[in-house]
Each structure stands twice: as structure tokens, then as C-alpha cells.
Amino acid sequence: MSMTSPVTCQKIKEKQNSYAPIFEDLIATDSNNNFALSYSINAIEDHSNDNFVLSNLNALLESHHSYPIKGSTYLDRNTNFHVKSSNSEIFNILQAAIAFKLAGKNHKALKLLEHATAVAPDNPDVLNWYGEFLEQIRHDVVTADELYFKALTHSPTHAAALVNHKRTSPLVDRLDLDLFKSIDKKKDYLKEKFDSYNFETLKKQAYYLHIYHTVGIEGNTMTVEQLRTLLETGQVIQGKSIIEHNEVLGLQLALKYVKSLARKEYITVDDILQMHKRVMGHVDPLTSGIFRDTKVFVGRHIPPPSEKVPELMESYANWLNSDEARNMHPVRYAALAHYKLVDIHPFVDGNGRTSRLIMNLILLRGGYPPIMILKEQRDKYYDALNVANVGDVRPFVRFIAHCTLQILDMYIQGTKMLVLDDHSTNTDGTQIINY
């Protein structure tokens, strides 16, 4: 595998060392692994207070999850309108929508445009019109830009979409930059607090929530409480399958491994195989840690043939360790690392979980806390990945950026809660958050 030059490595090293502290301690693994060594059953720890914190945090996270990709209804999986319609029918709907818009009846116009995009999701006129509507009436430049781009993927010479996209693209770039800036501001704020406050309970809760959401996205039905009991006592949860149990054990083992890689200079193909071995090892000892040897399907997308996987993974690792990647904003770097890995889809199963771990490894190395993609964000997450597949990776980067904001807010809110709880150190009741 080719590496970057020694001089550049030195530069990157310095750059990385400037991040302090690395949030690797947010992965609370070492203390929970005792049960693996014997049959003994430990008493469940007293979490009476933790539970209060936990439920507040989860509520906070769930209220959060509605904003990441605004107005992405045109990709909504739950729609019932996926039927073919004739062009003239679409044309009629569009005409009516325009008429409503001109008459100032924006709500009715929106309804018709939503209907049109559901009926004809690939029609460039519909996409372009819907974009214009969202841009002008809703001032939603980001979604509008995504729609123009999508129109252009279906009709690369579409005049109106070209003009529109040329206008919105730099605006969106600037908005994304602002997003990264606000992320870094919160990260720096949190970093400062990280030394002075005791995050123990919060870290532990985040750790369990992390496992909960990343296995939950793949269909695991265990609750946070259940998986915590499993990990702390080694005892099984009635009514849950053995596979669900082993998925949880796998994540614990994998997170421990991610933590061990946080200060490693380069990420190799073998690191990724080792990560996957841990993610899937308990579930399937025979396919874990090795590349797939069969064709796979991910929805309508067909990943590269299995014989190409080793070569593609070498290129992927080269990219991961390249100056190009390492000089990006860490959130973009992490999001792209995720997207590129699911795109190769090197494993039979566990590709999503492994990709999310690689993403989090990069965030950790960049000085960010590991992020969670909530079970409730599943559809938005997959939609953004689908859009990346058809050529526009920005919505996915944006989605990951919002998830980063979300976890930073969780810790910052958690700090607040912990401080407000502790009257002995903060008796004047002043608000200490002022970012």
C-alpha cells in the first residue's frame, strides 16, 4: 500500500497532535467486559439516577432528529404514489401548481408539487419546479440545490436547472462552511468543559445509546436498558433472538477496538477487517473479518463484483491515508469515509455498522466525539446515501454534520444538566453556556 511522503506525515502528525483531548474516553469499554471471562453473574449497577439523565438525553436527541435534511419529502420511502403517470398528466399537475403559486395559494401549490415529485420522482421539470418553489417561498436553498442537482443527473442539459444550480451551489457551499464553523465552535466549547466536569455518567449513557442506535438501525429490537443489562451481567434478555444479543456483543468489542486505533497513524485494510471481525464475529464467526465472495444487492444499487473488492479496498485505504482526505474538514472526511465504504460494500453483512465505526474513528482522531445516527433517522440516512450514489455526496456530508451537532448538543445539554443538578458548585444559578 502506498503511503504519503514522510514530510507530509510529519505535518499531519503535528496537526493531529494539536487536537486535545481526543474524545476516545467517550468509549467506555474496559470496565464492562468482565463477564466474558467466567460464568459469574454480577449484580446490575445502581442506575436510578442515570435513568433520569438517559431519558432526558434520548428525548433531546429525538426532538433533534427532525431537522437534518429539511424538505426531503421527494425521497420519502413511505409514500404511496410510486406509480407511473403519463407526461401530460404530470404537465397538468405542474400547470395547476404554477397557477396556485401565482395566485399566492402556496400551500395548495406545495401539495401539488409534492404529489408531482411522488408520482414522477425522476422528472427533471418537476424536480426543478419543486426546487424553485422551495427556494423562493420557503427560502430552503439547501433542498432546492439538491433538487436542481437531481434534475441535472436525469437531464444534464436542462437549461433552467443549470442556471438555478449555478446560483444555489455557492450559497450552499457557504452554508455548509457555516455549519462546520458552528460544529467546531461547539466542539471547542465542549473540549474546554471536558477537563473541568465529570462526564462519567453521560459518557456511559452515550456509549449504550450509541450501541442501541447503530444496531437498531439494522433492525435490532433491544432497548437501551436491555442491552445494558446484557453487557453488564452477561445474562440474556428473554424474547430477543440470540442474533440480537450477539450483535450487541459485537458492537461492544468493535468500539473497544476503535478506541485502540484512535491514536494510530494510518488506517489499514487489515484494521478494517479486524473491525468487521469484531462487529460480526459473535453473530457469524465464519464470515466475519473476511471480504464477501458473492454478489450483493443494496436496494436497487448493485455494489462492485466481489473479485474487485480487495483492490478497491486497497485504494480506499490509500485514500483514507492521503493528504487529500486528511486535509478536509474532519466531518467531511468522516462522512466520505463512510459513504465510500458502503459503496464498495466489502462484506456479506455488517457493512453499515463497520462504515459508521470508520466514520467515528476519523471523528475521534480529529478531536470530535463519536456520533450517533438515531434509529429514527434511518430513512433520512439511507436517502442521503442514495443521493450520494446518484452523484451528489453533499446531502450526506450535511446529514453527518447535523448528527455531529446533535451529539455536541447532547453533551453540552448534559453538562448543563449536570451543573444545574450540582448546587454546591454553582449556587448562584448562572447560565454557564454562552457559545
Q: Based on the shown chain and the rule CB under 8 A, indicate whether residue 44 belongs to the binding site for its own copies.
A: no
Which stretch in 129-137, 168-176, 196-204, 240-248 sits in contact with its own copies by CB under 8 A?
240-248
Which stretch in 278-286, 324-332, 337-345, 400-408 sits in contact with its own copies by CB under 8 A?
278-286
C-alpha cell of residue 405: 451537532
Q: Based on the shown chain and the rule CB under 8 A, indicate whether residue 429 belongs to the binding site for its own copies.
A: no
Question: Residue 221 CB, nearest distance to its own copies (Å)?
Answer: 8
Active site residues: 345
Q: Give CA–CA dist 426/419, Å, rounded.
A: 7
CA angle 316, 322, 325 (to 5 degrees): 85
CB 125 within 8 A of CB 94: yes
Question: Residue 58 CB, nearest distance to its own copies (Å)?
Answer: 24
Cβ nearer to its own copies, comparing 213 with 402: 213
Q: Based on the shown chain and the rule CB under 8 A, indicate whether residue 272 belongs to the binding site for its own copies.
A: no
Q: Which residue has the cell 404514489?
A: 81
Q: Give CA–CA dist 125/377, Å, rounded.
A: 29
Chosen residue from 240, 329, 353, 375 binding its own copies by CB under 8 A: 240
Buried b (16+ CB within 10 A) or exposed e, 87-126: eeebeebbebbbebbeeeeeeebbebbbbbbbbbbebbbb
Count CB-CB contacts under 10 A for residue 340: 19
Q: Is 104 annotated as a binding residue?
A: no
Which stretch in 70-78, 207-215, 237-245, 399-407 sits in contact with its own copies by CB under 8 A?
237-245
Q: Is 309 annotated as a binding residue?
A: no
Q: Is 350 annotated as a binding residue?
A: yes
User: Which residues on neighbouring strands pair with residue 301, listed in sequence order?
Assistant: 298
Cβ nearer to its own copies, comparing 145 with 244: 244
Question: Residue 353 CB, nearest distance to its own copies (Å)?
Answer: 14
Chosen residue from 170, 219, 310, 391 binding its own copies by CB under 8 A: 219
Q: Based on the shown chain and the rule CB under 8 A, indicate whether residue 433 belongs to the binding site for its own copies.
A: no
Name the 3-class secondary structure at 226. Answer: helix
Question: Residue 246 CB, nearest distance to its own copies (Å)?
Answer: 7
What's the residue count for the chain? 435
Q: Based on the shown chain and the rule CB under 8 A, indicate whether residue 246 belongs to the binding site for its own copies.
A: yes
With CB under 8 A as the rule, give the number of residues binding its own copies: 31
Question: Residue 354 CB, nearest distance to its own copies (Å)?
Answer: 14
Q: Is 353 annotated as a binding residue?
A: yes
User: Which residues on neighbouring strands pair with residue 298, listed in sequence order?
Assistant: 301
What are the DSSP calls for 281-347, one per residue?
TTT-TTTTTS---S---BTTB-PPPGGGHHHHHHHHHHHHTSHHHHTS-HHHHHHHHHHHHHHH--S
* Secondary structure letter of residue 35 according to DSSP: G
CB 60 within 8 A of CB 375: no
Q: Based on the shown chain and the rule CB under 8 A, indicate whether residue 253 belongs to the binding site for its own copies.
A: yes
Q: Based on the shown chain and the rule CB under 8 A, indicate whether residue 238 belongs to the binding site for its own copies.
A: yes
Site mask for its own copies (CB under 8 A), range 315-354, x = bound:
----------------------------------------
Which stretch in 98-106, 202-210, 243-251, 317-325 sits in contact with its own copies by CB under 8 A?
243-251
Q: Give CA–CA dist 2/9, Å, rounded.
A: 13
**357: CB partners within 8 A, 6+ apart:** 254, 255, 258, 275, 279
Q: Give CA–CA dist 371/187, Å, rounded.
A: 12
Question: Residue 273 CB, nearest distance to its own copies (Å)?
Answer: 12
Residues contributing to the site for its own copies (CB under 8 A): 35-36, 39, 41, 219, 230, 234-246, 249-250, 253, 277-278, 281-282, 284-286, 288-289
Binding residue ranges for ATP: 298-301, 349-356, 381-382, 389
